[in-house]
């Protein structure tokens, strides 16, 4: 169990819309016992058109391996400025990661989708491991990942 | 000195770390080769389109196809909420094996690169790799220097066993260790993001056709790309018309439209990326499995070098006195160059060094073999203290000095004093030191003091010389050298066999019991552990501080110490030994003499000895369990009186340890010496030498001179000479 607090200034697009209201959101990710090295996780948001809107968290510090988070890498070109200050350690198999950050209200119930790309050394890459719409009603509902994530939920 | 320190300290400090790296690395080297052997390979001309279609036919839900450097092809799919992966036979597109990653390999990899300690462990292991790199480079320089230059990299060595094993392994393994450690450092730097070698991907296409379902074979890029250059192919998410195919090859990354099959973007690998990939391949053997196995094999030499290196260090510590406060070569005003065989000359050097240092000088002491005036840039005087080995040869720590001096364009300006150490009872008294003095004169090297000598380690003579040195330097120098007595053990005589009374040459074969050894001595092969026939037994006779040396006729494996002694008129030591009865004891110690060991190869040995000189030769034959051809020429006075080892020689001959025996008898109607026996067999002996035989001579000086003469004439027609053989290490003498 790990708790991280981060104040998030999310994407120019959202700040430009002039909405400053935000509330703390806790993202809880529990990994399966997939039997491998620690997983790299990229947590990011896409807008209603499906375009990359911004990153929320990067678990894993070696930028050399980010290319295996292939959707995130494709969207950002691997630009580490996107995750400046919101980077932490990779997450071991069977472990849980909990992050609390301030998310703008405007992200909820507006068609934004939260994605997690996952990758483990010498195992298959798993882009889009998780894709959940950000809605007030969806909070605290557990979602299963495709390969490495046993369950994920966001709570307000 | 600096190079040796650079070799010694990282070696000792990083021994555990480097050993861990080497052993795990060697174990890991097996995996790429095993994968290469197990993986079904694609046929030459097969395209990625063909492969993808075959796989799609057997696994409709395929999401991604990857090809590892070994040629193994893995397909990943997602079916009904569960992911799956298998190894594919490209010929059929069918699954052939599970694609689960190997737990043992992953465990070993994590141990190898980070000791399971993540970044801290990575840094520790990188330090280990750096130590290995320093060791490899400094070790190469040491080997080249010892052997006498880079061209003589593979020249044979005469050193104690540990040193020989250490260097032999290093010669074979050092290239691999250089490669492995240098690439390891690159990979660590890359992992920590020090290089701009991150993956480059093309801009995501802003517009796609929005259609789906183009046939794989109609996509030009897939049809053109051979499987051999494929890295991975990712399929678009099912049902998402905005997604694309992603193709990675060994030249770059591109996107393909899933509706039209058109290539939507491409970027080549960057130069940095290519270099990093090559480095990765060289280090891991993935994609170069034979190289990987070879590197693994070479890495296995590291633990052996660690252990032998430790022994060398321990032996070096005990072999000669420590020089305290030795100044750096570049700062020293006085440079003391030492030519020592057994270490006693180092003792004198240490006394001189400390006295000069106390007088306020910067003094550097070094073996003569390290002579290099460019390193001694501030030297104002040189002092050479040199012993002599055998018949005027360079002692161990002076090897190559005369060659180095001869190669200099001019002698140094700083003047020179040469002091020889020797024993006046030998004809070649201080012959090597004298040769040094003559060579220096030939080079017009200015003199600080005239050539002088010290007989039998006489402290008085040394003190007298030091006073003249003090006068030359304008300081009051009175050296009081305390002889360092080697640590002796009491040896108990077990048995003796007497010969030669009838021919006025009383001789005895004396056999002593091995003293008890401590576990430490056994482990470090110090003292009476691990000696061989040809090594020397030093005996301190009662009432004399000077040891006398006898060649050993046995090795430690025989379980006893055996020497052959002849009584000399008035000889203190031989008198004491000849008066010894079973149960009596003498004070003794071992001195290694690797120059006079029977080497371990299979070439024939020609052993030539007379009288007591048969001792070490008999020891070689006794130890010849591998039955290499050995031919013995032995000279005695009368077969009825001093035929030493007669019964043993017959038994060894019957057991094939001795191939032939030629004797010469010097008393009687037609006196013959051993050189005459050799001359009689000249044709056969010359043939053996031509085929690589090694000649070992032991005995009196006159006999050795006679043998050398016969050999010179015998080898002349072949364009060979004893001198040439000597240079090749194939003609060695133990003469007294």
pLDDT digits (tens, 9 = 90+) for B257-313: 999 999 998 999 999 999 999 999 999 998 898 999 999 999 999 999 988 888 887
Query: Where does CATH 3.40.50.80 sit in chain B?
Result: 598-735
Name which of B85, B201, B234 is nearest A73 (Cβ-Cβ).
Answer: B201
pLDDT at A4: 41
pLDDT at A3: 39
How many domains, in total, are found in chain A?
A: 1
pLDDT digits (tens, 9 = 90+) for B225-261: 999 999 999 999 888 888 899 999 999 999 999 999 9
Any idea what DSSP says for residue B511?
E
Widest Cα–Cα separation across chain A: 45
pLDDT at B653: 93
Give me the mean pLDDT over the B648-659 stretch: 93
Q: Closest approach of chain A CAs to the CA of B74, in angstroms? A: 10
> What is the homologous superfamily of the domain B489-595 according to CATH?
Translation factors (2.40.30.10)
Domain B320-473 matching CATH 3.40.50.360: the answer reads: yes
Long-range contacts of B639-642 (CB under 8 A, 24+ apart): B639/B663, B639/B665, B640/B502, B641/B499, B641/B500, B641/B501, B641/B502, B641/B503, B642/B499, B642/B500, B642/B503, B642/B505, B642/B507, B642/B611
- Per-residue pLDDT band for B644 (boundaries 50, 70, 90) equals very high
pLDDT digits (tens, 9 = 90+) for B580-599: 999 999 999 888 777 788 88
The pLDDT > 90 percentage for chain B reads 48
Stretch 57-76 of chain A: residues touching chain B, C-beta under 8 Å:
62-64, 66-67, 70, 73-75
Above 50 in pLDDT, residue A14?
A: no
Contact at CB, B193 and A64, closer than 8 angstroms: yes
Asked if B171 and B153 count as a contact pair (C-beta separation under 8 A), the reply is yes
Domain that holds residue A138: 3-155
Query: Where does CATH 2.40.30.10 sit in chain B?
Result: 489-595
Q: Closest approach of chain A CAs to the CA of B46, in angstroms? A: 24
Q: Closest approach of chain B CAs to the CA of A24, in angstroms? A: 31
Stretch 118-137 of chain A: residues touching chain B, C-beta under 8 Å:
122-126, 128
Contact at CB, A124 and B190, closer than 8 angstroms: no
> What torsion do the CA atoms of B17, B19, B25, B29 make, to the nearest 10 degrees?
180
- Note whether B203 contacts A: Cβ–Cβ < 8 A: yes
pLDDT digits (tens, 9 = 90+) for B481-500: 766 667 788 899 999 999 98
Asked if B147 and B157 count as a contact pair (C-beta separation under 8 A), the reply is yes
Contact at CB, A67 and B198, closer than 8 angstroms: yes
pLDDT at B509: 95
pLDDT digits (tens, 9 = 90+) for B19-57: 999 999 999 999 999 999 988 888 888 999 999 999 999
CA A130/CA B724 separation, integer angstroms:
80
Q: Which residues in B lie closer than 8 A to residue A66 (C-beta atoms)?
A: 198
Above 50 in pLDDT, residue A15?
A: no
Above 80 in pLDDT, residue B82?
A: no
> Collapsing DSSP states into helix, strand and coil, what is residue B82?
strand
Above 60 in pLDDT, residue A94?
A: yes
- Note whether A49 contacts B: Cβ–Cβ < 8 A: no
Question: Mutate which of B189, B201, B203, B233 to test chain A, going by most A C-beta atoms within 10 A?
Answer: B201
pLDDT at B439: 94
- Per-residue pLDDT band for B400 (boundaries 50, 70, 90) equals confident
CA A104/CA A15 separation, integer angstroms:
9
Any idea what DSSP says for residue A13?
H
Q: Closest approach of chain B CAs to the CA of A25, in angstroms? A: 28
Contact at CB, B110 and A62, closer than 8 angstroms: no
Q: Closest approach of chain B CAs to the CA of A147, in angstroms? A: 6
pLDDT at B616: 95
Contact at CB, B101 and A122, closer than 8 angstroms: yes
Name which of A35, A78, A144 is nearest B199 (Cβ-Cβ).
Answer: A78
What ipTM was reported for this prediction?
Answer: 0.81
| Cα-based distances in Å from B165 to B171, B304, B387, B524, B530 | 10, 8, 27, 14, 14
Q: Report domain B598-735's class.
A: alpha beta
Contact at CB, A147 and B83, closer than 8 angstroms: yes
CB atoms < 10 A from the CB of B310, how many?
17
**Which of B141-155, B327-341, B518-532: highest mean pLDDT?**
B327-341
Give me the mean pLDDT over the B169-195 stretch: 93
Q: Which residues in B lie closer than 8 A to residue A74 (C-beta atoms)?
A: 201, 204, 246
CATH code of residue A79: 2.60.40
């Amino acid at each position: 169990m790990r708790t991280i607090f981060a104040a998030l200034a999310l994407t120019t697009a959202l700040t430009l819309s002039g909405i400053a209201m935000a509330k703390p959101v806790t993202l809880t990710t529990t990994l399966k016992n997939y039997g491998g090295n620690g997983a790299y996780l990229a947590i990011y948001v896409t807008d209603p058109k499906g375009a990359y809107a911004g990153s929320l968290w990067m678990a894993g510090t070696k930028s050399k391996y980010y290319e295996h988070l292939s959707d995130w890498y494709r969207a950002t070109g691997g630009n580490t400025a996107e995750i400046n200050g919101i980077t932490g350690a990779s997450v071991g198999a069977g472990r849980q990661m909990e992050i609390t950050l301030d998310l703008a209200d405007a992200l909820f119930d507006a068609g934004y989708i939260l994605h997690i790309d996952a990758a483990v050394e010498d195992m298959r890459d798993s882009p889009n491991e998780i894709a959940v719409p950000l809605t007030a009603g969806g909070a605290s509902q557990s979602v299963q990942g495709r390969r490495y994530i046993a369950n994920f939920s966001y709570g307000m | 000195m600096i190079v040796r320190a650079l070799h010694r300290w990282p070696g000792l400090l990083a021994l555990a770390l480097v050993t861990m790296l080497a052993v795990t690395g060697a174990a890991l080297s097996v995996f790429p080769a095993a994968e290469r052997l197990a993986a079904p390979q694609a046929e030459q001309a097969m395209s990625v389109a063909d492969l993808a279609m075959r796989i799609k036919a057997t696994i409709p839900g395929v999401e991604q196809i990857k090809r590892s450097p070994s040629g193994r092809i893995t397909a990943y799919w997602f079916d009904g909420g569960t992911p799956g992966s298998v190894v594919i036979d490209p010929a059929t597109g069918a699954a052939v094996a599970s694609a689960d990653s190997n737990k043992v390999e992953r465990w070993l990899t994590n141990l190898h690169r980070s000791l399971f300690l993540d970044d801290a462990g990575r840094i520790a292991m990188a330090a280990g790799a750096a130590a290995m790199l320093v060791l490899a480079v400094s070790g190469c320089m040491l080997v080249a220097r010892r052997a006498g230059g880079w061209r003589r990299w593979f020249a044979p060595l005469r050193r104690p066993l540990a040193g020989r094993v250490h260097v032999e392994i290093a010669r074979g393994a050092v290239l691999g260790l250089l490669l492995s450690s240098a690439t390891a450092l690159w990979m660590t730097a890359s992992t920590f993001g020090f290089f701009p070698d991150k993956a480059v991907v093309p801009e995501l296409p802003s517009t796609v056709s929005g259609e789906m379902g183009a046939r794989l074979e109609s996509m030009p890029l897939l049809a053109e790309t051979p499987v051999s250059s494929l890295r991975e192919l990712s399929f678009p998410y099912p049902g998402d018309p905005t997604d694309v195919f992603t193709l990675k090859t060994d030249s770059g990354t591109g996107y393909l439209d899933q509706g039209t099959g058109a290539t939507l973007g491409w970027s080549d690998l960057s130069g940095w990326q290519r270099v990093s990939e090559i480095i990765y391949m060289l280090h891991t053997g993935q994609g170069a499995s034979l190289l990987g196995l070879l590197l693994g094999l070479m890495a296995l030499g590291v633990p052996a070098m660690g252990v032998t290196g430790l022994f060398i260090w321990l032996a070096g510590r005990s072999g000669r006195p420590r020089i305290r406060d030795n100044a750096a070569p570049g700062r020293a005003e006085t440079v003391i160059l030492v030519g020592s065989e057994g270490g006693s000359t180092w003792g004198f050097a240490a006394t001189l060094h400390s006295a000069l240092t106390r007088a306020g000088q910067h003094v550097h002491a070094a073996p003569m073999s390290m002579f290099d005036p460019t390193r001694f840039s501030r030297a104002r005087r040189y002092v050479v203290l040199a012993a002599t080995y055998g018949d005027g040869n360079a002692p161990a720590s002076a090897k190559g000095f005369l060659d180095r001096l001869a190669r200099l364009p001019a002698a140094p300006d700083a003047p020179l004093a040469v002091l020889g150490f020797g024993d006046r009872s030998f004809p070649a008294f201080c012959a090597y030191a004298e040769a040094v003095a003559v060579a220096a004169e030939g080079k017009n090297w200015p003199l600080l003091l005239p050539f002088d000598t010290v007989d039998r380690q006489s402290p008085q003579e040394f003190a007298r010389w030091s006073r003249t040195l003090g006068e030359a330097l304008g300081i009051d120098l009175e050296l009081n050298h305390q002889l360092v007595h080697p640590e002796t053990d009491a040896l108990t005589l077990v048995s003796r066999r007497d010969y030669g009374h009838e021919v006025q040459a009383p001789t005895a074969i004396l056999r002593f019991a091995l003293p008890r050894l401590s576990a430490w001595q056994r482990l470090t092969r110090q003292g009476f552990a691990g000696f061989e026939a040809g090594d020397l037994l030093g005996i301190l006779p009662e009432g004399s501080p000077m040891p006398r040396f006898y060649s050993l006729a046995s090795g430690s494996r025989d379980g006893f110490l055996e020497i052959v002694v002849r009584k000399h008129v008035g000889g203190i030591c031989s008198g004491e030994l000849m008066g010894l009865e079973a149960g009596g004891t003498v004070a003794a110690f071992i001195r290694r003499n690797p120059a006079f060991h029977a080497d371990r190869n299979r070439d024939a040995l020609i052993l030539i000895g007379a009288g007591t000189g048969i001792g070490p030769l008999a020891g070689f034959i006794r130890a010849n369990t591998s039955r290499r051809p050995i031919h013995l020429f032995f000279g005695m006075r009368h077969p009825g009186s001093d035929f030493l080892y007669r019964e043993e020689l017959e038994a060894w001959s019957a057991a094939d340890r001795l191939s032939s025996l030629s004797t010469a008898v010097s008393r009687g109607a037609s006196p013959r010496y051993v050189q005459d026996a050799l001359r009689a067999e000249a044709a056969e002996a010359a043939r053996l030498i031509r085929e690589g035989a090694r000649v070992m001579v032991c005995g009196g000086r006159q006999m050795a001179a006679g043998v050398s003469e016969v050999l010179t004439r015998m080898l002349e027609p072949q364009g060979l000479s004893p001198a040439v053989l000597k240079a090749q290490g194939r003609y060695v003498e133990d003469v007294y």
